[in-house]
Structure 1
Amino acid sequence: MSFDGIMTRAVIHECEQHLLNGRVTKIKQPYKMDLLLTIRANRKNHQLLISANPSFSRMNLTNASFDNPPEPPMFCMLLRKHIEGGFIREIKQDGMERIVTLVIEGKNEIGDVSIKYLIIEIMGKHSNVLLVDKETNQILDSMKHLPPSVNRHRTILPGREYVGPPQQHKANPLEVDKEDVLRKLDTNQGKIDRQLVQAFTGLSPQTTKEIVHRAGLGSAENIAASFLEIMNDVKEHSYYPQIAATNDKEFYSVIELTHIKGRAKKFDSVSELLDRFHSGKAERDRVKQQAHDLERLLRNEWQKNKKKIKKLEKTVQQAEKAHEAQKFGELLTANLHLIKGGEKEIEVIDYYDENGGTIMIPLDPEKTPSENAQSFFRKYNKAKTSLEMGKEQIRQTEEEMTYLEQLIQQLESASPSDIDEIREELSEQGYVKKRPGKGRKKNKPVKPVLEKYVSSDGTEILVGKNNKQNEYLTNRVAHKEDTWLHTKDIPGSHVVIRGESFSEQTLLEAANIAAYYSKAKDSASVPVDYTKIKHVRKPNGAKPGFVTYEQQSTVFVTPDEDLVLKLRASRN
């Protein structure tokens, strides 16, 4: 993983600069595996995010905002009891391991000084956060419990003695010289990068590949020199926070990644790098867990409608051939005097043929000539009705597919708090059953919460990320002279620029937001329509979020995630 011992050291160095001797004023646990500590230090509030998420475990300062659950989890309540109001006196790293200890000084019930350790183990799926009493070395509680039945060597339960993860007996890369490095290498065994991972603590495969790459195709001497050069930068806290990206993957590091050929972006701080890299990723993971049933339902419904259209198109094609039945009926009517009765077919002059040819018309021998003609007319009328109904059903099915595509797109950009609104809408539309209540009295309907942005010239921009928010924004919140934006013929969000006076730059920034929250998020030169709110209408009986508009103009933008995040941060 990218969050190795070097990244841990860089984060601790940054936290020491901002948090040492700061007071823990608030503790939140917005999600099961995430903690958010607000720390007052140097006359400023700082937020420290600690995550034991199996896929996104990390620790960093953050400016992101998180919803607080209605009821705090037990672990959060225990942390509030023991360390809220305490001071962070020390931030320690266990060698070059991904284990961080916050030494927090507070007061116990009788006013005596009490030291607690908040131990953060950043180890992928084994990540954990533990509160340990310094005097007794007992675990007060932890984010994850590990009973003896799972691990006899290391039991993690309240009241048990804290035992760290098993030692790997690797060398500390910051405490070795050239000879030490050379002794660990065997150039005849190949895979030097793996040898470095196995020999030194805190190094990820990504870091060791960079060491080998910088050494080129040279000898072990060159590898040792490359190793010591990078470790010296780490020792001196000389970091290069960056995200390097190829076409299909992103990598982050505090070491310049010259071995990755692709795009690279440098950041001013380690925490800014981690915030940017993980922005949306952990949230998307939570949304997938919460909404996997909805996404599966929507995609299945879309596929059903696709098959339905194919069947309807066949019906329409068959119905379009029904003009032949009308033709037969009219020719029979004109030639009734030629039919004696009992014939299975009759040949008549085709008056519709420019060359004056003849045509064979099949007959039912048990029917009179007039009944045969009427049978063709009934067949024609039935096909005509079927044609009209088929075309109308195709139109309705296509509209439903567009609606489903819109909901799928909204799920892809939804936050965990948006899922309930989308689920409620699907219940109202009859796609899912309404979840049974818990016996509580129904609360007053809650107004949808809109995303707010501030453009570079200070203009407020509002965004609806699902249909309930879109309708609330467009029909209730926006003023008739506000400017409304939406991607042209592409499922996406409603975006509104508040006020009548704004710059061209604000228009382009709002269009960028509209393109970013659309199905064309990863496309270039996305068309975005804009018009006044007074020109936007919702047709009677239309699906939620569907509107028509007129007097629009169009701009073309390429979605820029960095710009959207910058404008979102500006709202604070």
Structure 2
Amino acid sequence: MDASALAGIVWELGQQAGARLERICQPSPSELYLFLRKAGEVKRLCLGMRSDLPRLHFTASRPENPAHPPAFCMLLRKWLEGARLTGVEQPPGERWVCLRFRGRSSLGQELALGLVAELIPGATNLILLRLPEQQVLAALKPGAVLYQPPALPGGVSPGRWLPELFADGRQDPGPAWQMLLSTVRGFGPLLAKEVVFRSGWDADAPAQLVAPQADRLARFVHDLAGAVSAGRFQPAVYYGREGKPRYWHVLELTHLSDLVAVSMATPSAAADHFYTAYLQGAAFTSRRSGLRGALSSAGKRLERRARAQEADLQQAAVAGEFRLWGELLTTFADRVPVGAGRIDLPNYYLPDSPPVNVPLDPALGARANARRYFARHAKGERTRVAAGKELERTLAELAYLQRVSDTVEDCRTLQDLEEVWEELREAGLAHPVPKSPRAGARSGKFTGLELVSSRGDAILVGKNHHQNEQLVRAARPDQVWLHARGVPGAHVLLCPGAQAGKDWPPADSLEEAAELAAHFSRAGRSRWVEVDWTWARHVRRVPQGRPGLVVYHHEQTIRVSASPRLFAGGNSPPR
């Protein structure tokens, strides 16, 4: 957010002069929300103080109000709640603003207060001042007792732009827009590139090429600066080909012709749309990365356990030799001399009775040595049985992790990822993490896909183990359950609609549901997939099993395409 974009927000915020500050909440250390009421309408002003993403704009989102607000929030409530917004100030070309309020002290004395938002990357801060003394009453990052505005950066105001100031660019090998950044105060990279582009060059043209005709740059700098000062804003969000917002600004950016520009009603609408999508995308990427790390760590731990259990099985495999030695010592006890350390005895289990060299404890007799070998054989057998069961459980855990890993890669929303994380936490494979507000990850409501077949029958698709568990528990006996045959994937439930009759389930609805089961499975990249279907009354949860793990019988198998058809509304379900 450069100073020009901030000016658009300040212009919009100025229209709320006279609004009453009704409520303040601070859902995170770097995020503050002011609720301003004017003419019966409440607007939520977001002040984001992340050092890498400072922002100020009205927002449509509803912030979570923590049960225990931070101390800074409590101080702001003490001084500002109930105060009136009297004005907003932004020094020309600067990225900090002062929101002026008129309030009253606890004794009823009228006070002039200012809330300064410093939106400078790497140096963000929120400071509450008592005016006109500039006395600091509270600060997000405490500092001096008396407030000093941030030092002005280099460069001149756009209104004082002179072509001569760009003369040094004749020897600069870098792009011209970077020279503009260091010369004109208040312009960010987007506006600097826009000036170069409107002047007739490529947005990344070198300064050596542009500098000889700096007067053209000066004209367009004046034009853009004049549009900002006159409030001629054209807020828009610019989307890339992948459908994600890439940039936003309050002025038209013609150099972004390869992007799709979507006009917004107000500067705040553009900022809110962009930052909401950006933060959700960043949270999604972070959560998916965390899940991948947790799954990788758990998988490596289980692989080490499996190797240890396989080693135990290999050691237990020699227990049969101990039994043979014990039997030979018992049979030929009279041939074993007292104090012998080894002896060769015939193995009567094999043809020609080849000799077997049996180690002995010299301090024990033949039968005592035999009893010792029988005990070691019994212990080895117990180890073999126990290690085999443990190895079976470990391999099942590894298979479960692989299914969860496939689910994580298929997740498309933050809520889906939070459900998977909660499932791993309950399984003891991940640490609990704070949920995003109103995620509803563990609510009783089904959170998977709810679709309608072309015939009007409801189709429910569980995209993770928690949603699969919800389907299995909620299924009615007359509903049809489907799953891709022999591969991990989604549980799909076909529910009878209003037209259900004796021919239930209808072939077309059944095939459409099977296509979904094939699509949301590990075989979803294949052209054709076999899908099992059966009545829900024949599906049972595995006792003590992982969520979504079932056994079923009386199934039938159909072969369908893994590309689902279009459903009501004209949309095909995303992967």
Query: CA shift at 1:311, angstroms?
Result: 1.6
1:167-246 equivalences under 5 Å are: 167-173=152-158, 175=159, 177=161, 179=163, 182-183=166-167, 185-188=169-172, 190=174, 192-204=176-188, 208=192, 214-217=203-206, 218-221=209-212, 225=216, 229=220, 232-233=223-224, 235=227, 236-242=232-238
Q: What SS does the corresponding residue of 2:386 show, helix, strand or coil? A: helix
Q: What SS does the corresponding residue of 1:75 show, helix, strand or coil? A: helix
Cα–Cα, structure 1 residues 324 and 457, in superposed 2: closer, same or farther, change >3 Å?
A: closer
Look up the match of 1:272. 273
Look up the match of 1:144. 141
Q: What SS does the corresponding residue of 2:100 show, helix, strand or coil? A: strand
Is contact 2:475-2:493 (8 Å) kept? no
Is 1:387 the counterpart of 2:389? The answer is: no
Is contact 1:454-1:460 (8 Å) kept? no
Is contact 1:185-1:196 (8 Å) kept? no
Is 1:361 the counterpart of 2:356? The answer is: yes
Cα–Cα, structure 1 residues 403 and 357, in superposed 2: closer, same or farther, change >3 Å?
A: same
Alpha-carbon displacement from aligned partner over 1:364-400 (angstroms, at most 9, x marks no partner):
4779999999988776665444333222112333455
Look up the match of 1:62. 59
Amino acid of the residue matched to residue 220 of structure 1? A
What is the CA–CA distance in structure 2 between the aligned matches of 1:111 and 1:91, rounded to whole Å? Answer: 24
Match for 2:88 among 91, 98, 101? 91
Alpha-carbon displacement from aligned partner over 1:391-431 (angstroms, at most 9, x marks no partner):
21123334556778969979x9689x9999899958xx699
Query: CA shift at 1:38, angstroms?
Result: 2.3
Query: CA shift at 1:58, angstroms?
Result: 1.7
Look up the match of 1:51. 48
Amino acid of the residue matched to residue 205 of structure 2? G
- Structure 1: stretches of 5+ with no match in the other structure: 147-154, 434-446, 559-566, 568-572
Is contact 1:539-1:547 (8 Å) kept? yes
1:311-350 equivalences under 5 Å are: 311-320=308-317, 344-345=343-344
Q: What SS does the corresponding residue of 1:185 show, helix, strand or coil? A: helix
Query: CA shift at 1:227, angstroms?
Result: 7.9
Cα–Cα, structure 1 residues 232 and 126, in superposed 2: closer, same or farther, change >3 Å?
A: same
Q: What SS does the corresponding residue of 2:156 show, helix, strand or coil? A: coil
Amino acid of the residue matched to residue 214 of structure 1? A
Alpha-carbon displacement from aligned partner over 1:488-524 (angstroms, at most 9, x marks no partner):
99999x999999769x9xx99xx99x98xx9x9xx99
Match for 2:149 among 156, 159, 164? 164
Query: CA shift at 1:270, angstroms?
Result: 2.5
Cα–Cα, structure 1 residues 370 and 423, in superposed 2: closer, same or farther, change >3 Å?
A: closer
Is contact 1:89-1:105 (8 Å) kept? yes
Greater Rg by CA? 2
Query: CA shift at 1:172, angstroms?
Result: 2.4
Alpha-carbon displacement from aligned partner over 1:520-559 (angstroms, at most 9, x marks no partner):
9xx999x99999987776544446x56436579999799x
Cα–Cα, structure 1 residues 80 and 348, in superposed 2: closer, same or farther, change >3 Å?
A: closer
What is the CA–CA distance in structure 1 between the aligned matches of 2:58 and 2:2, rounded to whole Å? Answer: 17
Cα–Cα, structure 1 residues 133 and 302, in superposed 2: closer, same or farther, change >3 Å?
A: same
What is the CA–CA distance in structure 2 between the aligned matches of 1:250 and 1:224, rounded to whole Å? Answer: 34
What is the CA–CA distance in structure 2 between the aligned matches of 1:488 and 1:46, rounded to whole Å? Answer: 53
Q: Indicate the larger mover: 182-191 or 106-115.
A: 106-115
Is contact 1:193-1:209 (8 Å) kept? yes
Q: What SS does the corresponding residue of 1:64 show, helix, strand or coil? A: coil
Look up the match of 2:10. 12
- Structure 2: stretches of 5+ with no match in the other structure: 197-201, 265-269, 433-440, 453-457, 499-508, 565-572
Cα–Cα, structure 1 residues 316 and 110, in superposed 2: closer, same or farther, change >3 Å?
A: closer
Look up the match of 1:444. none
Amino acid of the residue matched to residue 167 of structure 1? L
Cα–Cα, structure 1 residues 530 and 4, in superposed 2: closer, same or farther, change >3 Å?
A: farther
What is the CA–CA distance in structure 2 between the aligned matches of 1:210 and 1:83, rounded to whole Å? Answer: 40
1:64-143 equivalences under 5 Å are: 64-105=61-102, 115-143=112-140
Cα–Cα, structure 1 residues 67 and 295, in superposed 2: closer, same or farther, change >3 Å?
A: farther
Cα–Cα, structure 1 residues 271 and 548, in superposed 2: closer, same or farther, change >3 Å?
A: same
Q: What SS does the corresponding residue of 1:309 show, helix, strand or coil? A: helix
Is contact 1:49-1:62 (8 Å) kept? yes
Look up the match of 2:502. none
Q: Given the two structures, how large is their TM-score scaled by the length of structure 1? A: 0.61
Amino acid of the residue matched to residue 361 of structure 1? V
1:542-561 equivalences under 5 Å are: 542=545, 545=547, 547-548=549-550, 550=552
Amino acid of the residue matched to residue 137 of structure 1? Q
What is the CA–CA distance in structure 2 between the aligned matches of 1:5 and 1:487, rounded to whole Å? Answer: 55
Q: Given the two structures, how large is their TM-score scaled by the length of structure 2? A: 0.61
Amino acid of the residue matched to residue 211 of structure 2? A
Is contact 1:25-1:85 (8 Å) kept? yes
Is contact 1:328-1:376 (8 Å) kept? yes
Is contact 1:243-1:277 (8 Å) kept? no
Look up the match of 1:441. none
Cα–Cα, structure 1 residues 115 and 190, in superposed 2: closer, same or farther, change >3 Å?
A: same
What is the CA–CA distance in structure 2 between the aligned matches of 1:529 and 1:136, rounded to whole Å? Answer: 76
Query: CA shift at 1:201, angstroms?
Result: 2.2
What is the CA–CA distance in structure 2 between the aligned matches of 1:229 and 1:181, rounded to whole Å? Answer: 15
Amino acid of the residue matched to residue 238 of structure 1? Q
Amino acid of the residue matched to residue 25 of structure 2? K
Q: What SS does the corresponding residue of 1:308 show, helix, strand or coil? A: helix
Cα–Cα, structure 1 residues 490 and 538, in superposed 2: closer, same or farther, change >3 Å?
A: same
Is contact 1:488-1:529 (8 Å) kept? yes
Is contact 2:94-2:186 (8 Å) kept? yes
Amino acid of the residue matched to residue 7 of structure 1? A
Cα–Cα, structure 1 residues 488 and 34, in superposed 2: closer, same or farther, change >3 Å?
A: farther
Q: What SS does the corresponding residue of 2:278 show, helix, strand or coil? A: helix
Query: CA shift at 1:163, angstroms?
Result: 2.0
Is contact 2:167-2:212 (8 Å) kept? no
What is the CA–CA distance in structure 2 between the aligned matches of 1:100 and 1:172, rounded to whole Å? Answer: 17
Is contact 1:28-1:35 (8 Å) kept? yes
What is the CA–CA distance in structure 2 between the aligned matches of 1:470 and 1:529, rounded to whole Å? Answer: 16
